[in-house]
Amino acid sequence: MPPRQVVPLLEAMVPEGLRWGGNYLVEFEPSSPWYGLSITIAARAVQSGLKTEYHSFHRNIVDVKEALEKLGLSVEAETKRGMLRLIESYTPAAGAVRAGPGEKTGFLSDRAPDVGRWGRAIKKQIRQGFNEQERRWLHIDDNTSLLLQFTDEETMLNSWRTVFIPWGRARELITVNGFVKGIASETFYRKTESLYDGVFDLVTKEREGRLEHHIRTRTFHGGEIDSRWKTVRRGPRGEVVIGTRQPSEAVRRLAAVMMTDMAGYSRLMRTGEREAMRLVDAQEAVIRSTIPRYDGSLIKGTGDGFLVEFRSALAAAECAVAVQRRMRRVRGGDVVRIGIHVGDVIHKRGDIFGDAVNVAARLQSQAKPGGICISKDVYEQVSGRIRSSMKYLGTPRLKNIAPGVGVYELIPSTG
């Protein structure tokens, strides 16, 4: 496994640390405290001995320095010591008066945000190579999305894939890019997220006239994570703290729910405990490595199965097909049953509750070993959009569920 580095504050979600050469995305709402959080991460990282670059698109360099100084960081001393590097793109982007003498603060400073010109300079750096001082920095962009004011989505995607990510890998950076939600096309967000090794969500909710902020790890490739929502609080000096307690209120939203389990698990444990545990471990490995590709959130394990939440019924169905195909390659792995339903779920204390969860559990019990059962609500959303056939099974009696739930068997195509 590639070496990792614990990053202050983000360790609340990823205790094992982020990978050197890895790229991580923080998607934040405009009202969320990402600016304060990014400044706090930078200050605490330098104080812990981690070389840190802070690339500012959203604030001028004077504001950034003042914010870091308020957190007890001596900007001048740490810059001279080679532990801190400030890169400003705010001033040229805003067309404002440039900083005075001594305010030029690093590579790409005082250059207009032009990904083409930046790309040429970066490619030249890559060809020349990097000395040890230039390797293994934490690189934070406060608002990478501002680049879309100067270039189109496709150009930015291509530049990130062919220039900026290779640059980060060549320098063995841990790159954390902030990106505002909702300002680009959905396709752009999907393509962008696929380039990253991990995605964090930073959201803001209003409760009783008060704003509350929460963060979680939505996707992460490699290593253990805590995907539960964490509270984000501002301190009196602008310092941001990530708490371990979960939001006290129940949050309701529409979601697709996938429930899995192993058929005959109790019998397997009686007849061959070691074999049963091998299959449980195989299922877990397949689930954990498959769901990030479909933006799934693993809610919890259920002993011999898993509860997973998705943004859409289509994503859940496609993921279920991928899981079953991968499980069939495992010796004796044709035992997992999957049920999917879409409806309201209630989020509370890192778990989800509601009728959608209960129905998905009952549908899972209707599936054959190696099979997938979906509700009529899911069928209506995925029909004609997935390379699988659907067989109607009627409205079987589902324990503790109101009658009338239509059930379909989802049969993956062989092509």
- Per-residue pLDDT of 296-310, as tens digits, reads 888 888 888 999 999
22-60 pLDDT, tens digit per residue, is 999 999 998 899 999 999 999 989 988 899 999 998 888
Q: What is the mean pLDDT of residues 89-110?
A: 52
Give me the numbers of helices (H) and strands (E) for the chain, helices first please: 13, 19
| Predicted local distance difference test score (pLDDT) of residue 99 | 42
The Cα 96–Cα 90 span in angstroms is 8
Instruction: Sketch out the chain's domains with CATH numbers.
Output: 4-242 (3.40.50.300), 251-412 (3.30.70.1230)
Handedness of CA 67, 69, 74, 75 (dihedral sign): positive
CB 278 within 8 A of CB 333: no
Q: What is the pLDDT of residue 106?
A: 46
pLDDT, one tens digit per residue, over 122-154 is: 899 899 999 999 999 999 999 999 999 888 999
Residue 115: what pLDDT? 82
Question: In angstroms, how far is CA 286 from the centroid of its own chain?
Answer: 18
Residue 342 confidence class, pLDDT cut points 50, 70, 90: very high
pTM over 0.85: no
For residues 227 and 161, the model is more confident at 161
pLDDT score of 351: 81
Alpha helices in 240-395 (DSSP H): 265-271, 273-290, 313-327, 355-366, 376-382
Is the Cβ–Cβ distance between 227 and 301 less than 8 Å? no
pLDDT confidence band for 88 (50 / 70 / 90): confident
Choice between 261 and 293, residue whose per-residue pLDDT is larger: 261
Mean pLDDT of 404-413: 91
Categorize the per-residue pLDDT at 102 as very low, low, confident or very high, splitting at 50, 70 and 90.
very low
State the average pLDDT for the chain.
Answer: 87
What b/e string do you get for 84-101 counting C-beta neighbours within 10 Å, with b at 16 or more?
bbbbbbbbbbeeeeebee
pLDDT surpasses 80 at 347: yes
pLDDT score recorded for residue 2: 59
- The CA R_g of the chain, rounded to the nearest whole Å, is 24
Please give the full DSSP string across 159-193, using - where no structure is assigned.
Answer: HIIIIIHHHHHHHT-EEEEEEETTSS-HHHHHHHH
pLDDT score at 16: 85
Q: Is residue 105 predicted with pLDDT exceeding 50?
A: no
